[in-house]
Amino acid sequence: MTDLTGRAAIVTGASRGIGHAIAAELLSRGASVTITARKPDELAAAAAELVATSAGGDAARVLAVVANAGSAPSREESVTRTVETFGRLDILVNNTGINPSYGFLMDADLDAVRKIFDVNVVAALAYVQLAYRAWMKDNGGAVVNLASVAGLRSSGVLAAYGASKAALIRLTEELAWQLGPTIRVNAVAPAVVKTQFATALYAHGEEQVSAAYPMKRLGEPADVAALVGFLVSDAASWITGETVRVDGGILATGTLG
């Protein structure tokens, strides 16, 4: 029930980190995958790696589309080319997220805050709308939004980012209600995962940060990818509207570390 053979997916922001790991996971389960990212060279290298490893050398199952999630034409191109190439679009993973604002909200640049919400929330909805119109309305599908534990509990320093992820969690619930029963929409909420995006959160001392977690380690991209692979599969056919924590137990401690 976790096999995805014959299905097609889009994973946004997948040239590295969590997005790249998710693309590899979906490919390993048999899906064809479109990956997007803003930088052509990094995207091409990521696609080549996926073909060489997860896709077993089958280049026909990997499509790379240079795209900025905050750009409407880029989003449209991603969806159009996926359907043209694979003939379908069963899975959408809204992985792209940005955080150009850090710290005290009273000092926040409001243009930066607008950009965070535009990319982390509005763009995710826009991708769902496009996937719905292009394929899922008539054929069904599964959507997973990448949220964060910062959307579930105040972090202080990640305030604007956390607020955007809280909005994404609510958006996930609304979409699940409106798009059921044929389209399932869920979110995953990671804590600190060892990626380039999150380096600033643990670079000062990984051992010290890890000590706050019941599992005594930080997350790896594969930890999140395995959960996403399950949520988009038939094994999760009665799960929708959920935000599943993949946090090493940090929220169980009552803090974010």
Contact 131, 180 (CB under 8 A): no
Contact 151, 162 (CB under 8 A): yes
SS3 call for 70: coil
Q: What is the 3-state secondary structure (H, E, C) of 173-241?
A: HHHHHHHCCCEEEEEEEECCECCCCCHHHCCCCHHHHHCCCCCCCCECHHHHHHHHHHHCCHHHCCCCC
Written as one letter, the residue type at 93 is V
Structure tokens at 213: 């977690």
- Tokens 């619930």, located at residue: 173
Helix axes 72-86, 123-131, angle to 10 degrees: 30
SS3 call for 246: strand
Contact 165, 151 (CB under 8 A): yes
> Alpha-carbon distance 209 to 73, whole Å?
40
**Active site residue: 127, 161, 202, 213, which one?**
161
Contact 132, 140 (CB under 8 A): no
Residue 213 annotated to the active site: no
Contact 246, 188 (CB under 8 A): yes
Give, as one character, the DSSP assignment of residue 106: G
Active-site residue list: 161
